[in-house]
Structure 1
Amino acid sequence: MAAINDVAAYILRARGPMSAMKLQKLCYYAYGYHLAWEERPLFPERFEAWANGPVSPRLYRCHRGCFQLSAGDIPGDPAALDEGEQESVDMVLAGLGDYTAHQLSTMTHNEAPWVNARKRAGAVLLERSSEELLDEEIFEFFDALTAANADGEEEV
């Protein structure tokens, strides 16, 4: 199993420079879709319900203080992803890679995993929270999206 740093390094190599917030959100969406498609986590690290959407504290520690990131800025090994992991990340990048960081963040604010974690924490708008998003809720949300997509709705 890859680590989040490996996935982040893979994304930066595939898509080039992007903001730290966009990288966090793409890692989150890759995690969620991979969990639904493969029924296994993409990496062991967890996401917390921060004010601007899901954030991995481990990845945040790697880019803290940096707004823009490029390939090589995150210590990770893109080759650590297995074929299924690469496929999941590639599909997410194909579907969501052109979205802005703000668009991705706004999307997460309307989705059950982040909303539920914020409610559990009692966090109001812009308030800090370290409440973890639960894999069960992430799986349920993304599994429902993939089921809807299988019924003919728009893909990722």
Structure 2
Amino acid sequence: MIQTEERAKTIQEPTVHDVAKAFLRLESMTPKKLQKLCYYAYSFYLAIYEKKLFDDNFEAWVHGPVNPQLYTEYREYGWQEIPQEINYPNSIMKNERVREIIEEVYESYGHLDGSQLEYLTRQEDPWKNARNRLQPYESSRNVIDDEDIRSYYVGLLRNC
């Protein structure tokens, strides 16, 4: 029991930037694709483990869910691809659950481009609920509710 507690203390919790770098380790991609893959990783982790993957939220922007910190970090790339990363962040390497989620999300959604992922996320209830009657072109900084995310993705997993 003590070893388990000590091990848990030594595992660093990932940040949104760590998760992004883990996806970028798999391929170079546009900021839009990266945002959506991070959103799916966050969503499925929340549904499966009932806790947040990282301590940030996603907002219901016009082009789908966006994490503002990731947007700020990668906005200079615009529609161009962000270069591939060489190394996995330590917080990902040492956390099997997180690695598995990233691998599963990439296996399921990695073949899609940013626009296809945008289309998918905009069809889903958590994004729609956060937009709350806004027109498709209206900007929003509304946070997508974690309970909406959790319940929606629990339902998706049950139907698999």
Q: TM-score, normalised by structure 2?
A: 0.85
SS of the equivalent of 2:76 reads coil
- Compute the displacement of 1:65 (Å): 2.2
- Compute the displacement of 1:39 (Å): 1.6
1:86 aligns with 2:99: yes
Which has the higher Rg, Structure 1 or Structure 2?
A: 2
2:119 aligned residue: 106
1:142 aligns with 2:160: no
8 A Cα contact 2:25 2:88, kept in partner: no
One of 53, 56, 70 as aligned partner of 1:45: 56
SS of the equivalent of 1:71 reads coil
8 A Cα contact 1:52 1:105, kept in partner: yes
1:96 aligned residue: 109
Q: What pairs up with 1:28-67 in 2 under 5 angstroms? A: 28-66=39-77, 67=80
- Compute the displacement of 1:78 (Å): 2.1
Q: In the aligned structure 2, how far is the partner of 1:107 from the partner of 1:65?
A: 25
Deviation beyond 3 Å, 4+ runs, structure 1: none
Pair 1:61–1:77, CA change in 2 (3 A): farther
Q: In the aligned structure 2, how far is the partner of 1:70 from the partner of 1:42?
A: 24
Q: In the aligned structure 1, how far is the partner of 2:91 from the partner of 2:38?
A: 15
1:27 aligned residue: 38
Equivalent pairs counted in the alignment come to 144
Show structure 1 runs of 5+ residues with no match: 150-156
Show structure 2 runs of 5+ residues with no match: 1-12
Identity score, percent: 36
2:22 aligned residue: 10
8 A Cα contact 1:5 1:77, kept in partner: no
Q: TM-score, normalised by structure 1?
A: 0.88
Query: Deviations 1:68-87 (Å, cap 9, x if unpaired)?
Result: 102349xx962212110111
Structure 2 counterpart of 1:33, one-letter code: F
